[in-house]
Amino acid sequence: MPIVAVKKKFQVVIPRSVREEIGVNVGDFLEAKVERGKITFTPKSLLDRGIDQSLKDFREGRSYGPFDSHEAMVASLHEETRKLRAKKSRRPAA
């Protein structure tokens, strides 16, 4: 088991054998947390929040398409607009 030292500014070098075993490379992100009194680092992928939200919407069925043509896309937009207007007109007046 490799031993590492905490350097100035609390930097730690991950030994080559450990990096190679888990596939960590320069520029990768690691999640650092404390688990039962030990520091653990877990490799993580970071996504832009907008992309993450889009992927979540897609997984939950809140997406449209793919469309065969631009006409099909425009027709879909018109249909969704019609549905939204119908919902708004059913709301009681405030």
What distance in Å separates the CA atoms of residue 6 and residue 58, rounded to the nearest whole number? 43
Examine residue 38 and state whether it is found in any structural domain, yes or no: yes
Range of the domain at 37: 11-44
Residues 53 and 77 in one domain: yes
pLDDT of res. 94: 61
Residues 53 and 24 in one domain: no
Residues 80 and 54 in one domain: yes
The beta-carbon contacts of 11-16 under 8 Å, at least 24 apart in sequence, are 14/41
Please give the model's pTM, rounded to 2 decimal places.
0.48
Examine residue 1 and state whether it is found in any structural domain, yes or no: no
Cα 28 to chain centroid distance, Å, stands at 15
**In a 3-state reduction of DSSP, which class is residue 61?**
coil
Examine residue 94 and state whether it is found in any structural domain, yes or no: no
* Tens-digit pLDDT profile for residues 25-59: 999 999 999 999 999 999 998 878 888 888 899 88
Residues 37 and 61 in one domain: no
Nearest C-alpha neighbor of 30 from the set 48, 13, 46: 46
pLDDT band at 16 (very low <50, low <70, confident <90, very high): very high
Residues 53 and 85 in one domain: yes
Question: Residue written as tokens 């207007």?
Answer: 85
